Structure 1
């Protein structure tokens, strides 16, 4: 069984037992959270799609860790104008262990 969830402005296809990295969630390590924004639930060839959410569906997950992603380097240049700008960014993330998927 799998589900398509929405968190942090992004959508993820998850199944029980998977580990995913999502946008940072304000929760302690080891805490169990419930994600109730489920867009679709599927099992084999059967799929149930919400409009926009599947009513009564939820996904339980355990917070494994918090961290920061790889550095993204930003370089801006205006040719012939003597303008160069360098910048970097590291996005915070939360690693989740997917548990029970309830329809």
Structure 2
């Protein structure tokens, strides 16, 4: 049994027990979050595809941690100049653990 959910403008394939890194949510670690934007659900009864979302199917998850990801270096090469630009960026993310998929 698995589902495809949408959060933070991205889509994730999740099943019960998975640990997933998603875009930052303003929720404290240890709290529960419910995702109701389910695009696809595969269970014992078959496959359900939403248009765009499936009603009645929700994914319950628990927030484990909020951290910054690894540093991504952005290099801008000079165009006819001797100035090099090197910038770093660390994106915030939220790590969640999928508890269960309800409905279907």
- What are structure 1's unaligned runs of at least 5 residues? none
Q: Provide the C-alpha distance between the structure 1 equivalents of 2:78 and 2:57, rounded to a whole number of angstroms.
A: 50
Change (3 A) 1:42 1:80: same
User: Aligned pair count?
Assistant: 103
Pair 1:42 & 2:38 matched: no
1:16 maps to which residue? 16
Please report how far the alpha carbon of residue 79 of structure 1 lies from its aligned counterpart in structure 2 after TM superposition. Answer: 3.6
Encode CA deviations 1:13-39: one digit per residue, 9 max, x unaligned: 000011001011111111011011110
Q: TM-score, normalised by structure 2?
A: 0.92
Higher strand proportion: 1
SS at match of 2:77: strand
Please report how far the alpha carbon of residue 55 of structure 1 lies from its aligned counterpart in structure 2 after TM superposition. Answer: 1.1
Q: TM-score, normalised by structure 1?
A: 0.93
Q: Provide the C-alpha distance between the structure 2 equivalents of 1:77 and 1:91, rounded to a whole number of angstroms.
A: 23
- What are structure 2's unaligned runs of at least 5 residues? none
Q: Could you list the runs of 4 or more consecutive aligned residues of structure 1 that deviate by over 4 angstroms after TM superposition?
A: none
